[in-house]
Amino acid sequence: MSGSVLHDVPGPRGRRRIAIASAVAALALIGLGALVIRRLAANGQFNSGKWSPLFNPGDKDFPDVWRLLGGGLLHTLTAAALAAVFSLVFGVLIAMSRISAARWYRWAVVGAVELLRGVPVVIAVFFAAQVLPAYGVRLPLLWYIVIGLTAYNSVVISEIVRAGVLAVPKGQTEAASALGLTRGQTLRVILLPQAFRSMLPALLSQLVVIIKDTSLGAFISYEELLRRGLITVQTLHNPIQTYLLLAAIFILINYLVTRLAIYLEARLSGRRSGRPVPG
């Protein structure tokens, strides 16, 4: 930890103190773990009936459970993919209209963006699921979650895109207008392609948010992974084990997306300026 601002490189006494603190912390962690395991065991949470349908391929319920959960995962990924694509498309359109809007209606775009950013995404999903049918727009449940997620995430993405476009060096815009490109052409042909590269990590972080928020579909009965998990719990009576599995699946997917974002960030920023990548 020589790079830390908070402490020097430890000397012999410091190292001894760190070793003692490490031992104490490790013991405390082991103790805590043992306590949790004892509590779980005392409540019969290690009975094979609670684990084996989820984790043991030889179990008679295993194929059914995984057909259910696998289908749920597929629905989750479908909703996430659709919401991500629509959010990106609308996000770029909103950003373009905010950047290139004439003054007299720019305030309307800015107002709409700021308003939508303040709406909780779960409300957006319920809004879609409750209000649209009240006005005769009946869609499959998938589309309510996609509409809700898109409404929220497209404005967030539009801000990412706007920041990315504004970060492109000014000379690019000047060169484009010197060539006689219109403002719209400059944006489309010159600025957006360059901005996209620097935006990629931020966009992937937003993808993690979208993937997590698809689980809100469970509240409107869309049968994504969490909803299917609830159904599993009802028959197997093993909430701890099932939620552990669901959490692990989400964490794994999102962890991979996050790693990809970090990798791209390191590569892109390294190529651009040669500055060291902050770890």
Task: Write out the residues near another protein by the rule CB under 8 A.
Answer: 1, 3-8, 10, 14, 18, 21-22, 25-26, 29, 39-40, 42-43, 45, 114-115, 118-123, 126-127, 130-131, 134-135, 208, 212-213, 215-216, 218-219, 226, 229-230, 233, 239-240, 243-244, 246-247, 250-251, 254-255, 258, 278
| Minimal distance, residue 31 CB to another protein, in Å | 12
Ramachandran category for residue 44: left, alpha or beta (phi over 0 → left; psi -120 to 50 → alpha): left
- In contact, 161 and 95? CB cutoff 8 Å: yes
Residue placing its CB nearer to another protein in the complex, 53 or 190:
53
Single out the residue of 149, 171, 173, 152 nearest to residue 99, CA to CA.
173
Minimum distance between the CB of residue 117 and another protein, rounded to whole angstroms?
Answer: 8
Residue 46 dihedral angles phi and psi, to the nearest 5°: -100, 10
**21 or 189: whose CB is closer to another protein?**
21
**In 3D, which of 198, 196, 178, 179 has the Cα closest to residue 188?**
196
Task: Indicate the residue among 14 and 184 with the shorter CB distance to another protein.
Answer: 14
d(CA 273, CA 153): 30
Count of CB atoms within 10 A of residue 64's CB? 13
Cβ proximity to another protein: between 21 and 167 the closer is: 21
Which of 1/102 has CB closer to another protein? 1
Encoded tokens for 233? 């719990």
Least distance (Å) between residue 40 CB and another protein? 6
Q: Shortest distance, CB of residue 233 to another protein, whole angstroms?
A: 7
- Identity at 178, one-letter amino acid code: A
